[in-house]
């Protein structure tokens, strides 16, 4: 390999590694040193990263380094086993090894792995390639993959501290790092790792539901604290005031009584009051529909607010929906703002929603729990952070994106709206963020972040007196999360990624910035591409909307075509030619995903787009659905005009061939 051999034992790890600690103890007989961890206010250490050194690479270019670390890891782990009570006799002896059954067992293992390797390549998804512009996955960070493998051999279970003394702490540390990155106070925030954004959304609604129910129960349990407040007024209290009520209950020694009198004890009808509706934008992820079902709130109580032609929640429509609910006397439990919608990458105006909530509270109208579903877009907040975590002013943003904005990209990123929305995220009460999307971490890695850790009490299965005292108890994760046994390896993977790629503009900001730049180039090129001429017909590529993040939706339109079903059929055929489903290994020249924007889900949000193509509104009414190709551009390898140009030429050729087949 390339000559340079890194010291695999940097000082901190030399202290932290059990193996190394043992070696040192043998020599010096000193007490084991504890690894250094950053103080509560610090983000991960800063320093710019080179995206080219982060991944195995589209051609496995960094395989030598990967193998070197694999070797080191297996060696370190094996030595740990050896050194654990060195006087214990080995369980596998040379005589065992000589037995035919032993050899056959190894042979079977080998054959099985060879078979699996084959199976995994039958319909593989080449997400490492810049040709893959499909779903929200891309190459994953070497640091995360290696850390996952290393931790996996130790098989830690983060459900309880006993099963994972190292990785439970890493999970809580990662939760705090994400909280600080999202703009929360490091002392009061709490976060942890979930299997994905879906479960994080469930946890948010679980806490919001129990908070509301506890407020109503307070009238029975600590009446003095809520004297003179009607149930309706209690439901409308701001989340912070509801949390203060929990404190009062605790001070009165009534926490358990409050739990028993709320939905947690007696069920949803405990207090005889509707807990309220949940408001989401039309672009919501379907996990919200499931959440309403699972938490017993009822799918009918999910209220969808219209989105504009930009697919962002329409703040006027939200205001109107709230007014309607006020008039009907119905409380609002939660409003969800989406930062990076799953299908369009659209960013809702979090700042406007937070301002609207303040305005309502000032006017004596009911408040609500504000949750930001940033499963997709959350990590992009790093692009706005100076080293140390300060949210930068617009003019301080990294020149790379700003410069490309004035050049090939056509438009600036971020738009003032996107900037303001990201700045306002810490006004929300909780956030969902997926490390397995823009964090470039292997599955399963989502995260839930709660602004005010007092809210944990609402889902805790500790006796209240335990929860009162020690900071230690939150290490028993299983007692106040939705899941039970869970991989500590996921925590190790995210923790390692955050060490290598700092959570600021020079780290993740640079990596995600490169992918946004690539998406911007793709969008600009699609918007201005010359027409394809096939069989005397002219086809143009048209983009759905200016993306807020690295997601580009587009379609092919035959000039003069006014039949929406024919247009949908053409694009569906094109998709068949460029999807990762089916088809032999090397056939897919270019891989995208697709989605249908339907009237049922989106209302009339797609209508302005349909009209811009010259199709009459009657076609939208008749067909009620538009098929678009959807490209999640997560690769950092399309940034830069040269890298992009090489790819774009190939794309044009592939599309011309696909059109010739489909048209
Ligand atoms: C992906 C996504 C989810 C669900 O996350 P999973 O990790 O797939 O469970 C929720 N909300 C949004 C906006 C998403 O993009």
Q: What is the pTM of this model?
A: 0.90
Residue 512: how many CB atoms within 10 A of its CB? Answer: 27
Ligand 1 test: best mutation among 342, 371, 421, 431, most atoms within 8 Å of CB? 342
Q: Residue 294's pLDDT band (boundaries 50, 70, 90)?
A: very high
Given the DSSP bridges, would you call strands 430-433 and 369-374 parallel, antiparallel or unpaired? parallel
DSSP β-bridge partners for residue 592 = 133
Tell me, using a 6 A CB cutoff, whether residue 373 lines ligand 1: yes
Ligand 1 test: best mutation among 137, 205, 287, 430, most atoms within 8 Å of CB? 287
| Distinct helix (H) and strand (E) counts, the chain | 25, 13
Q: Cite the beta strand spans of 195-343 per DSSP E.
A: 277-281, 302-305, 332-338
Tell me, using a 6 A CB cutoff, whether residue 196 lines ligand 1: yes
Tell me, using a 6 A CB cutoff, whether residue 632 lines ligand 1: no
The ligand 1 atom nearest the CA atom of 201: 10
More confident residue, 254 or 24: 254
Tell me, using a 6 A CB cutoff, whether residue 376 lines ligand 1: yes
For 635, residues 6+ apart whose C-beta sits below 8 A from its C-beta are 129, 130, 132, 133, 138, 139, 515, 518
Tell me, using a 6 A CB cutoff, whether residue 446 lines ligand 1: yes
Cis before residue 40, ω within 30 degrees of 0?
Answer: no
More confident residue, 349 or 36: 349
CA of 49 to the centre of ligand 1 (A): 27
CA atoms within 13 A on the CB side of 620: 20
**532-534: strand order across its sheet:** 132-133, 591-598, 625-632, 551-558, 537-543, 532-534
CA of 84 to the centre of ligand 1 (A): 42
pLDDT at 400: 54
Percent of the chain surpassing pLDDT 90: 64
Work out the average pLDDT over 620-635: 94
The ligand 1 atom nearest the CA atom of 198: 9
Range with top average pLDDT, 149-163, 402-416, 622-636: 622-636
| The pLDDT of residue 577 is above 60 | yes
Work out the average pLDDT over 155-170: 86
Work out the average pLDDT over 303-310: 96
CA of 520 to the centre of ligand 1 (A): 23
CA of 384 to the centre of ligand 1 (A): 22
Residue nearest to atom 3 of ligand 1 (CA): 197
Q: Residue 50's pLDDT band (boundaries 50, 70, 90)?
A: confident
CA distances from 340 to 254, 281, 376, 422 (A): 41, 12, 5, 11
**Hunting for tokens 């956030």 — which residue is that?**
431
Architecture of domain 514-662: Alpha-Beta Complex (3.90)
Ligand 1 test: best mutation among 137, 194, 197, 336, most atoms within 8 Å of CB? 197
Backbone angles phi, psi at 163, to 5 degrees: -85, 0
Tell me, using a 6 A CB cutoff, whether residue 342 lines ligand 1: yes
The ligand 1 atom nearest the CA atom of 136: 1
- 142 within 8 A of 65, measured Cβ to Cβ: yes
Range with top average pLDDT, 148-157, 388-397, 404-413: 148-157
Q: Residue 566's pLDDT band (boundaries 50, 70, 90)?
A: very high
pLDDT at 4: 41
For 568, residues 6+ apart whose C-beta sits below 8 A from its C-beta are 596, 623, 625, 626, 627
Tell me, using a 6 A CB cutoff, whether residue 281 lines ligand 1: no
Residue nearest to atom 10 of ligand 1 (CA): 197
Q: Which residue in 285, 83, 119, 95 sits closest to 204, CA to CA?
A: 285
Q: Which residue in 135, 125, 146, 123 sits closest to 55, CA to CA?
A: 146
| The pLDDT of residue 626 is above 60 | yes
Residue 286 class from Cβ within 10 Å (0-12 exposed, 13-18 middle, 19+ buried)? exposed
Is 184 among the catalytic positions? no
CA of 201 to the centre of ligand 1 (A): 9
Lowest-confidence range among 68-82, 149-163, 402-416, 451-465?
Answer: 402-416
pLDDT at 584: 43
Lowest-confidence range among 95-109, 139-153, 635-649?
Answer: 635-649
Helix, coil or strand: residue 141 = strand
The ligand 1 atom nearest the CA atom of 196: 7
CA distances from 456 to 285, 292, 430 (A): 24, 20, 12
CA atoms within 13 A on the CB side of 118: 6
Percent of the chain surpassing pLDDT 70: 87
Which pLDDT tens digit goes with each residue over 229-279? 888 899 999 999 999 999 999 999 999 999 999 998 988 877 778 889 999
**Size of the chain in residues:** 663
CA of 628 to the centre of ligand 1 (A): 20
Tell me, using a 6 A CB cutoff, whether residue 434 lines ligand 1: yes
pLDDT at 404: 47
Chain-centre distance of CA 660, in angstroms? 38
SS3 assignment for 371-415: EEEECCCHHHHHHHECCCCCECCHHHCCHHHHHHHHCCCCCCCCC
| The pLDDT of residue 590 is above 90 | no
The ligand 1 atom nearest the CA atom of 338: 13
The ligand 1 atom nearest the CA atom of 341: 13
pLDDT at 15: 39
For residue 466, what is the enclosing H or E element? helix 464-469
b/e map 300-338, b = 16+ CB within 10 Å: eebbbbbbbbbbbbbbebbbebbeebeeeebbbbbbbbb
Helices (H), 252-302: 255-261, 263-266, 287-294
pLDDT at 314: 98
CA of 344 to the centre of ligand 1 (A): 13
- 427 within 8 A of 359, measured Cβ to Cβ: no
Tell me, using a 6 A CB cutoff, whether residue 287 lines ligand 1: yes
Work out the average pLDDT over 400-422: 69
CA of 282 to the centre of ligand 1 (A): 15
Given the DSSP bridges, would you call strands 332-338 and 369-374 parallel, antiparallel or unpaired? parallel
CA of 148 to the centre of ligand 1 (A): 21
pLDDT at 613: 94
Q: Which residue in 510, 503, 507 sits closest to 175, CA to CA?
A: 503
pLDDT at 597: 96
Ligand 1 test: best mutation among 135, 136, 198, 281, most atoms within 8 Å of CB? 198
Ligand 1 test: best mutation among 200, 285, 447, most atoms within 8 Å of CB? 285
CA of 228 to the centre of ligand 1 (A): 42
Which pLDDT tens digit goes with each residue over 482-502? 999 899 999 999 999 999 999
Average pLDDT in the chain:
87
Lowest-confidence range among 289-298, 426-435, 532-541?
Answer: 532-541
pLDDT at 402: 45
pLDDT at 68: 98
Residue nearest to atom 12 of ligand 1 (CA): 375
The ligand 1 atom nearest the CA atom of 444: 7
The ligand 1 atom nearest the CA atom of 374: 13
CA of 446 to the centre of ligand 1 (A): 8
The active-site residue, picked from 440, 465, 508, 602, is 465
Q: Is 47 left (phi over 0), alpha (psi -120 to 50) or beta?
A: left
- 401 within 8 A of 102, measured Cβ to Cβ: no
Q: What is the distance between the alpha carbons of residues 551 and 344, in angstroms, rounded to a whole number?
A: 6
Tell me, using a 6 A CB cutoff, whether residue 338 lines ligand 1: yes
Lowest-confidence range among 37-41, 301-305, 467-471, 617-621?
Answer: 37-41
Q: Which residue in 432, 229, 192, 446 sits closest to 334, CA to CA?
A: 432
Tell me, using a 6 A CB cutoff, whether residue 262 lines ligand 1: no
| The pLDDT of residue 104 is above 90 | yes
Residue nearest to atom 5 of ligand 1 (CA): 197
DSSP 544: S
pLDDT at 13: 38
């Amino acid at each position: 390999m390339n000559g340079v051999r890194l010291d695999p034992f940097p000082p901190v790890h030399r202290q932290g590694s059990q193996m190394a600690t043992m070696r040192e103890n043998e020599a010096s007989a000193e007490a084991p040193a504890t690894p250094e961890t950053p103080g509560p206010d610090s983000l991960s250490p800063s320093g710019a990263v080179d995206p080219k050194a982060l991944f195995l690479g589209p051609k496995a270019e960094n395989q030598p380094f990967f193998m070197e670390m694999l070797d080191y890891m297996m060696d370190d782990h094996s030595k740990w086993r050896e050194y654990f009570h060195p006087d214990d006799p080995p369980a596998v002896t040379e005589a065992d090894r000589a037995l035919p059954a032993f050899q056959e067992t190894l042979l079977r293992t080998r054959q099985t792995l060879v078979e699996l390797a084959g199976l995994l390549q039958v319909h593989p998804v080449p997400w490492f390639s810049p040709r893959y512009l499909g779903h929200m996955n891309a190459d994953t960070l070497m640091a995360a993959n290696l850390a996952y493998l290393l931790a996996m051999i130790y098989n830690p279970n983060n459900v309880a501290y006993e099963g994972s003394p190292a990785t439970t702490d890493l999970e809580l540390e990662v939760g705090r790092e994400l909280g600080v990155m999202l703009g929360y106070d490091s002392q009061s925030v709490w976060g942890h790792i979930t299997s994905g954004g879906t479960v994080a959304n469930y946890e948010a609604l679980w806490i919001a539901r129990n908070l509301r129910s506890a407020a109503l129960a307070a009238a029975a349990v600590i009446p003095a604290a809520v004297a003179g407040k009607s149930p309706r007024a209690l439901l409308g209290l701001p989340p912070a005031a509801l949390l203060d009520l929990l404190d009062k209950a605790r001070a009165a020694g009534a926490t358990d009584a409050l739990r028993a009198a709320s939905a947690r004890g007696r069920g949803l009808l405990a207090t005889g009051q509707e807990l309220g509706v949940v408001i989401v934008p039309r672009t919501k992820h379907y996990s919200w529909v499931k959440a309403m079902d699972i938490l017993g709130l009822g799918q009918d109580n999910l209220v969808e607010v219209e989105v504009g032609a930009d697919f962002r929640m329409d703040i006027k429509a939200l205001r109107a929906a709230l007014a309607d609910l006020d008039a009907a006397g119905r409380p609002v439990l939660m409003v969800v703002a989406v930062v990076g919608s799953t299908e369009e990458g659209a960013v809702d105006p979090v700042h406007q929603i937070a301002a609207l909530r303040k305005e309502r509270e000032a006017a004596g109208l009911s408040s609500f729990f504000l949750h930001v579903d940033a499963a997709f877009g959350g990590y992009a907040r790093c692009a706005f952070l100076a080293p140390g975590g300060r949210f930068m002013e617009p003019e301080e943003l990294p020149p790379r994106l700003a410069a490309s904005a004035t050049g090939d990209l056509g438009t600036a990123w971020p738009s003032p709206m996107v900037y303001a929305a990201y700045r306002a995220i810490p006004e929300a009460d909780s956030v969902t963020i997926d490390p397995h999307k823009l964090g470039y971490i292997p599955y399963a890695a989502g995260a839930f972040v709660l602004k005010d850790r007092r809210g944990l009490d609402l889902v805790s299965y500790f006796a209240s007196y335990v929860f009162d005292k020690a900071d230690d108890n939150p290490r028993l994760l299983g007692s106040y999360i939705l899941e039970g046994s869970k991989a500590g390896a996921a925590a190790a993977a995210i923790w390692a990624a955050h060490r290598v790629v700092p959570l600021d503009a020079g780290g993740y900001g640079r990596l995600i910035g490169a992918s946004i730049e690539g998406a911007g180039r793709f969008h600009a090129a699609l918007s201005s591409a010359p027409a394809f001429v096939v069989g005397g017909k002219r086809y143009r590529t048209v983009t759905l909307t200016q993306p807020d993040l690295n997601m580009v939706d587009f379609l092919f339109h035959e000039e003069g075509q006014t039949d929406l079903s024919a247009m949908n059929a053409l694009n569906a055929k094109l998709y068949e030619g460029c999807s990762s489903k089916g088809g032999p290994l090397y056939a897919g020249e270019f891989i995208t995903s697709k989605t249908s924007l339907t009237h049922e889900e989106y209302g009339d949000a797609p209508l302005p787009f349909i009209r811009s193509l010259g199709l009459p509104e009657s076609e939208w009414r008749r067909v009620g659905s538009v098929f678009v190709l959807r490209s999640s551009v997560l690769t950092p390898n399309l940034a830069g005009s040269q890298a992009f140009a090489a790819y774009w030429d190939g794309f044009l050729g592939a599309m011309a061939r696909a059109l010739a087949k489909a048209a």
